[in-house]
Amino acid sequence: MTEGSVGDLPPIPTIGPVSRRVPPGGARRDWQAGEVVGVRDETARARTLRLWLPTGHPHVPGQHYVVRVADDEGIRMQRSYSVASAPEPVPLGSSSRSSSQGTHVELTVDRLDDGFVSPILHDDVRVGDSLEVRGPFGGWFIWHGDTPALLVGGGSGVVPLMSMVRNWRNRGSDVPLALVVSVRSPGDLFYSDEYGPESTIVYTRSAPAGWPRPPAHLDAATLAPLVERLAPAGAVAYVCGSAGFAEAASQLVVEVGMPAVSVRVERFGPSG
Amino acid sequence: MPPTSFRRLFGGAERDPRLPPGQYDAGNTFPVLTAEVSPRLQARDWTLRVDGLVETARTWTWDEIHKLPPSTYNGDIHCVTTWSKLGTSFGGVSVDGLFAAVGVRPEATHVLAWSVTGYTTNLPIEHVTGGRAWIVWEHEGKPLPPEHGGPVRMLVPHLYFWKSAKWIGGIRLLDHDEPGFWEQRGYHMLGDPWLEQRYDGD
C-alpha cells in the first residue's frame, strides 16, 4: 500500500494531555546558587534541606530540582530530588509570578550509603552552605490541583506527593484527593505528623502497636475503595517509589479499575 | 555565593573514559525508568508499523521481523537520570533494514517513534540510520523483559535512553521535527549525552 499523504495515516496513540505550561522566564533553567537555610531530619535516613533560590521559578507539585556537587578535583556529580514543599504563595501586590523574586524550596534526600551525592547532603551540608541547583523540572508527574487525585507512594516516593498534599491543604481545596503511603516500619515514615483523614498508611514489615491492619504489602483491598470513589470522578493516579514498588503499585491500581492512561508513574532510580 | 567545597573525592583518576560528563557507572544493574504503567504485551500480539513519508508503509509481525538479517549492538547506554551501563549488548534488527524495505522518501527529515502505551519520542533521520539505531528483543542474550520494553523496544544508544522507546509500536517518517512525550515536557529535542543535552535549551 502506498500512502497518499501523511494526513491519511492512522493516529498514533497518545498518553494524557500536555500538562506542562511553559514557565515564566522561558524554558531554559540555568544553574544557580541555592543557600541552605534549614536542615531537618525526617527519619534516620532522610533529611530535608530548605533552600533559598534567588532566581525563584515557582514549581508545580511533583517537580524536582537537580543538585550538583563538585569534589576537590573538580569532578561534578548531579542528582535529581523531588520538591517536598508546596509552592510559596505569590506575595501580595505582585501582579504575576515573576522569575526574579526568589523562592524557598524543600528537597527531601534519601541517604544511599554508596552514593556520591546523598552522603554529602546528609553528612557535610550545613545551614549557610551554598549548593548549585537547577530547576524546577518535570512536566508529567505534576499536579496542578484541579483534577481529583489518587496519590500512592512507597518510602521516599512520598516526597513529590507531599508537595501535592501540602499545596492542596494550603489552598483549602475541595478537589477529591486520597494519599496512600507504604513504608516498612513506623521509623521509615516521612512527615509523620502530617497525615490526616485523606491518608492511608500501609506498613509492610512492622506496624505501630494496635494498628488495625497487620503488616503486609500494599494490596488491592486497600486501593479498591479509593479507586471506586475517585476513578468515576476522572481522577489521575500518581504512583511514586522504587522501581519495584512503582511497578507493583501501578499494576495494582489498574487491576482495581483505574484506566492505565490515567496513571502517571515516577520510578526513583538508585542514583545516590 | 560560590558553591561550598565539601572535601570529597569521587575517584576522577579512575573514571572510565566511556562515561559521558555527569554520568556514573551503574555496573551490573539496569535501572527501570518509565512514565507509564508497563503494558503486558505478548510477542504474538506485537506488530511494528513503519509509515509516513515512505514509498510503501509496512507492518511486521514478530515472526516476520525475525526473518530480517539479525543485527547486534555491543556498547554503552546512557540515561538522562545520570546512570550509564557500560559494555552491554542488545540483539534485533537494524532500523536501516526496515527503512530499505519501505523506501524512505527524500523529503523525510525526522521520525517519531511511538509505543503501544502512547509514549512518543522524536529523532532526526540521520540519528536512526547509518547503523545507529535498532529494533531489539534481546538483552545480553536473553529475551527483553517487559519492564525494559519487552517484547520489543527501539535502541538508539548514542542518545540518552529516553529516545529508545520501550514497547515500540511504530516509526513514522516526517518532514519536520515533532516533539515527543518528554520533549513536550521540558527535555531536550536531541539528547546527546556527550553534550549533556538533558533539558530544554541545553
Residue A4's identity, in one-letter code, is G
Residue with cell 527501570: B32
Q: Which residues of B touch A138 (CB under 8 A)?
A: 185-186
- Quick one: cell of B164? 529508545
Strand bridging mode A103-110 / A46-53: antiparallel
Give the pTM.
0.89
d(CA B184, CA B188): 9
H-assigned helices in chain A: 118-123, 158-170, 220-230, 243-255
Alpha-carbon torsion, ordered A245, A246, A250, A256, to 10 deg: 20
A96 Cβ contact partners less than 8 Å away, ≥ 6 residues apart: A24, A90
- Tell me which chain B residue has its CA closest to the CA of residue A259: B37
Mutation for B interface: A49, A75, A127, A266, most B CBs within 10 A? A75
* Interface contact flag, B3 A70, Cβ < 8 Å: yes
Chain B residue at shortest CA distance from A128:
B4
Task: Give the 3-state secondary structure of residue A117.
Answer: coil
Q: Chain A partners of B119 at a C-beta cutoff of 8 Å?
A: 15
In this prediction, the answer to ipTM > 0.85 reads no
pLDDT at A18: 64
Per-residue pLDDT 10s for chain A (272 aa) are 344 455 578 888 887 666 556 655 566 888 999 999 999 999 999 999 999 999 877 899 999 999 999 888 888 888 999 999 999 876 655 554 444 578 999 999 999 988 889 999 999 999 999 999 999 998 899 999 999 999 999 999 999 999 999 999 999 999 999 999 999 999 999 999 999 999 999 999 999 999 999 999 999 999 999 999 999 999 999 999 998 999 999 999 999 999 999 999 998 865 44
Chain A residues with beta carbon closer than 8 angstroms to that of B34: 265, 267
**CA–CA distance from B66 to each of B47, B69, B129 (Å)?**
12, 8, 20
Quote the pLDDT of residue B2: 83
Copy the grid coordinates of residue B62: 514478530
- CB contact under 8 Å between A265 and B35, yes or no, is yes
Alpha carbon B108 to its chain's center: 20
Residue B108 grid coordinates: 523525510
Residues A31 and B135 sit within 8 Å (Cβ to Cβ): no
- The Cα B23–Cα B21 span in angstroms is 6
User: What's the gap in Å between the CA of A113 and the closest CA on chain B?
Assistant: 14
> CB distance from B181 to chain A under 8 Å?
yes
Q: Do B2 and A33 touch (CB under 8 A)?
A: yes
Say how many residues make up chain B.
202
Which of A107-111, B54-58, B180-184 has the weakest average pLDDT? B180-184
**Residue A3 has what pLDDT?**
41
